[in-house]
Structure 1
């Protein structure tokens, strides 16, 4: 049996330029170019869509998780970019978690597993 490898996600939006700039600023400050944003080997494709609303009304349905090795450094980068946490950063038995949202209301998390 062949197991497929997840390589990218399409994020539909009504404001692709704004959303792409937000992702670049917060999660990929070294990115400068056209096309998908490379997030550690996983590609984020942001596309204008007329079949989505301006805000995600069910943001908990799918959360993009970013596994990090240095939580404090990534947290500082996100705070410097103006990210507001949806709930306080929390230490859990399995690791440290922080949840925030993008301008469309999609949820994202940074996680440093133990």
Structure 2
């Protein structure tokens, strides 16, 4: 049996230029060009769509998680980018978590798991 490897996600939006700029600023400041945004080997494709609302009405349905080694550094980068924290940074038994939203209301998280988690 073959287990496929996730390689990219398509994010449909009514305002692709704005969303692309936000993702670059918040998560990939070194990214250049108009193609997919490389998020550590996982590609983010942002596409103009006419069949979606301007805001995600059920953002908790799917949350894109970013596993980080230096939580404080990534949180500082996100704060500098002006992200909207949906759930403040919190220490949990398995590690540190912070949930934020993109301009379309999609939820994302940064997570630094504890070594023994």
Aligned to 2:19, the other structure's residue is in SS state: helix
User: Would the aligned equivalents of 2:14 and 2:53 in 1 still touch at CA under 8 Å?
Assistant: yes
Q: Which residue of 1 aligns with 2:86?
A: 86
Deviations 1:85-112 (A, max 9, x none): 1122000000000000000000000000
Displacement of 1:84 in angstroms is 2.3
Q: Which residue of 2 aligns with 1:58?
A: 58
Which position in structure 2 is the counterpart of 1:32? Answer: 32
Distance 2:13 2:41 in 1: 22
Distance 2:67 2:88 in 1: 18
**Root-mean-square deviation over aligned CA pairs:** 0.5
Structure 1: gaps (5+ residues): none
The answer to whether structure 1 residue 68 and structure 2 residue 68 are counterparts is yes
Q: Which 5+ residue runs of structure 2 have no aligned equivalent?
A: none
Q: Provide runs of 4+ in structure 1 moved above 3 Å.
A: none
Give the TM-score, by structure 1 length.
0.99
Paired residues, number: 114
